[in-house]
Amino acid sequence: KNQVEQSPQSLIILEGKNCTLQCNYTVSPFSNLRWYKQDTGRGPVSLTIMTFSENTKSNGRYTATLDADTKQSSLHITASQLSDSASYICVVSSAPGDYKLSFGAGTTVTVRA
């Protein structure tokens, strides 16, 4: 069964600090990996999409990395802001054009002033 595991489940950081979220997956075959940000009470919004040939992808202060060999990804948030408080969801697609996605349960990030 395709699975996506995220860690930690939640974390609290001070404003201005950095943090890194982890994602391990067993989805096979692999097409692409996405990170979504979900604010409380809203739908997920895409941050990055990476194929197996892409090792890193940035979107502003968000940087995602991918190691397709070890089936691991990370999302690094630099110089956190209060608006970064949200759930971050790792999502894996198992084949090109496959719109059926495997979702992780998410990591809840709380940024405190």
User: Which stretches of the chain bind other proteins, using CB under 8 A?
Assistant: 4, 32, 41-46, 49, 89, 93, 96-106
- Are residues 101 and 91 in contact, defined by beta-carbon separation less than 8 angstroms? yes
Instruction: Pick between residue 9 and residue 70 the one whose CB is nearest to other proteins.
Output: 9
Least CB distance from residue 110 to other proteins, whole Å? 16
Instruction: Pick between residue 46 and residue 56 the one whose CB is nearest to other proteins.
Output: 46
Task: Give the SS3 label for residue 84.
Answer: helix
Kindly report each contact of residues 39-44 with a partner whose C-beta sits within 8 Å and lies 24 or more positions away, as own/partner: 39/86, 40/86, 40/87, 44/89
Instruction: Pick between residue 48 and residue 63 the one whose CB is nearest to other proteins.
Output: 48
